[in-house]
Amino acid sequence: MTHEEKKTAKIVEEMTMFFFALEATYIDTRIERRKDQVVIRVEADFDPSYSDKLSHLDHYLNGQKNDGMEDIYWELAGSGDPGETSQLLLVGMMIDQANIDIQDSCVKMCLTRNL
């Protein structure tokens, strides 16, 4: 397995743990490997009492990318407590774009990572 595949797996793990922390009962993850990018789609429900945890999700995942930090810290993804801001910021450093749609108690996300 290459480092890029491991990074993709860490992103999926972190987002899965994030939604488990929001008491999700349904989490659907799809990975599409393309020639020059990986697209990760996540759809999940959440307990509405945790909606405040989603209010800054776009900010964390679409923050400034730092390739140097990513190269050093990517292996730490998934190692902290689920839903920690630092873990979401790390995922944000590992992806190039996040499209997030939150409606009622359902979240649909499309995370793109350029290779």
Q: What pLDDT digit, counting tens, does each position of 31-48 carry?
A: 999 999 999 999 999 999
Instruction: Give the model's pLDDT for residue 88.
Output: 85
| Token reading at 31 | 């990975």
Q: What are phi and psi of 32, to 5 degrees?
A: -120, 115
Q: For the whole model, what pTM was predicted?
A: 0.85
Q: Residue 41: which CATH number? A: 3.30.565
What does the pLDDT look like over 68-83, one tens digit per residue?
A: 665 655 555 555 555 5
Helix (H) / strand (E) containing 49 = none
**Could you list the residue range(s) of the whole structural domain that residue 21 is in?**
3-114
Q: How far apart are CA 67 and CA 30, in angstroms?
A: 24
CA distances from 93 to 46, 70, 80 (A): 24, 6, 16
Backbone angles phi, psi at 50, to 5 degrees: -100, 15
Neighbours of 61 (CB within 10 A): 21
**Number of domains composing the chain:** 1
